[in-house]
Chains A and B, each alone.
Chain A
Amino acid sequence: MLVFEKSRPGRGVSALPKCDVDVLTPSDKDLRKAELHLPEMAEVDLSRHYTELAHKAHGVNDGFYPLGSCTMKYNPRVNEKIAALPGFTDIHPLQPARTAQGCLQVIKEISEALCEITGMSEFTLQPAAGAHGEFTGLLLIKAYHLANGDTQRKKIIVPDSAHGTNPASAVMAGMEVINVDSDDKGLVDLDKLREVCEGNDEIAGLMLTNPNTAGLFDPNIKEITDIIHQCGGLCYYDGANLNAVMGWARPGDMGFDCVHLNLHKTFSTPHGGGGPGSGPVGCKEHLAKFMPGVKVVDFDEHSDENMLSFAKAEASLGEMKNFYGNFLVAVKALTYIKMLGKEGIPEASKNAVLNANYMMNKLKGAYDMAFDPKVCMHEFVMDLSRQAKETGVTAMDIAKGLLDNNIHPPTMYFPLTVHEALMAEPCETESKETLDDAIRVFLELNDIAYSDPEKLHMAPVKTPVTRLDEVGAARHPVLKYEFE
């Protein structure tokens, strides 16, 4: 039942405090004419409504959540505690910088930490999430080429294993996408890349994740970025998979010119509805003058006090979001970085990779691994084409079966280069017991696929809602409540 259906006229919470400022009466033209349909209900019913919805969902606090390329790691409570400090919450973006020095200090420190982790020289916290970060990075690349008079550089190379948002962001930025196929190991095909790039003065750049979406670290990464630079292009690093290499390898050292990170993945802040997200973008010196928003600098030149203040980049591409991005998310991420410290950051990545390899090796006998790697990074891709052919049980059916076992399914049908893909990313925050339990479930489901496939076609049966009509929902989406 929707909150609107539970609404009763006149019921409600009248908790508004007495007005303690001058009352301003808006003119008639500023007043809303149509009735505003706000649900009216008692606090207790409202509270129960949202608790009920929470029970129907599966979050990282409910159970294992190995959603590939999403890094659903546990979000430590201390992050929330720090972000709830009044000095961070009771501020206004327009108050004088001299009265919010602690907040400026946070922006400065997290920018420095992210620079250190990625090998970049500057960061902006404005982008609201990953794809917004991609878009920002591409605008930086575009601004660079335009400033050099290279108006013809409009082509962005994206490998076929890339995240779907990469080509979409490129098109949004007014670029044209060139797809480059992967080789049979699932890595960038160097010959094909050279073929596209050599002597091509229309190449604006390359977008790449490393490790890639098959969970493989591309050992030719330096050669790849060199090929792009040689033809005058720039390299953009999609930070979706940074959790595999954080503290071990830096995009800057791999030859990337700019990156985006997902604080809601790698740096333990909440995802999705629990967000908001945050997709800071970092760049090297040669792109710094185009950065959006403002950065924190040491001295305010209009004052003789020794204080932090804001400064704008000389050829800034403008505002990607108002003010300083999702600031409180940055507070949480900085808390995480400080809690882990210089030793903890690489340790987290090490365990993420270890956990993925442990699961992959335990599942290898029952599930075929795409590209059959000896070692994976923080995630691995199962290919269920064999099961689909022999039993009729698809990746979707196994995913639904996992739900009955209180496990969130891995990412399905991605990367597109693998037909019946299930892409699992266990994360470093899971114990051996959790992994062993999940492994047992995966193996059982594979047995059921061969003994009683119909059972998996029917799954899930234990969840609050059972198998949904995905096709119907996609063909005829109902996106809003129709008031009578």
Chain B
Amino acid sequence: MKRLIFLLILPCLVVNANAQKYMTKNGFIGFYGHTPMEDIKADNNQVASVLDISTGELVFQVLIKSFHFDRALMEEHFNENYMESDKVPKSIFKGRITNLSSVDFKKIGSYDVTVEGDLTIHDVTNKITTKGSIEVISEGINANSKFNIVPEDYKINIPGLVRDKIAKSLEVTVTMKYSPLPSK
């Protein structure tokens, strides 16, 4: 995966062209689940992502251990019992914007997009499709999305005792602020 990202970047460093690829290493992905017992909430501010505006391809990757909880014990359980982050340290999304033609990357403004691709969590890959928005600003590109995932779809085992405590579905928020990759 790391190689893949480097391969995506490499042409930009070599070819002298207008920025086609945009990148961030400081992206935000958070999730939130509500149950009568408690709210589950975690933030990850270390998301690495590359957006290729010529093809609409998008890659995201995160370290599971970079998810930050307000409660230390919840973070420990998340890593050890549910995500098994020692065994499966990363989550990856690889996909593309399907309605790329409706985005004018040369014009400042906000555009609705649909993104589809493969989301790999806990070593289980599922196809997902989600709505989002692309905002073209003078400094770069912002991307936002909200969608739901079901832990069961990713073989995340939740023991019966606490199953009702943990939300069946989690709302995932994605907020990216991309900068153009330097082209010399």
**Same complex origin of A and B:** no
Could you tell me which B residues sit within 8 Å of A by CB distance? none
On A, residues with C-beta under 8 Å from B are none
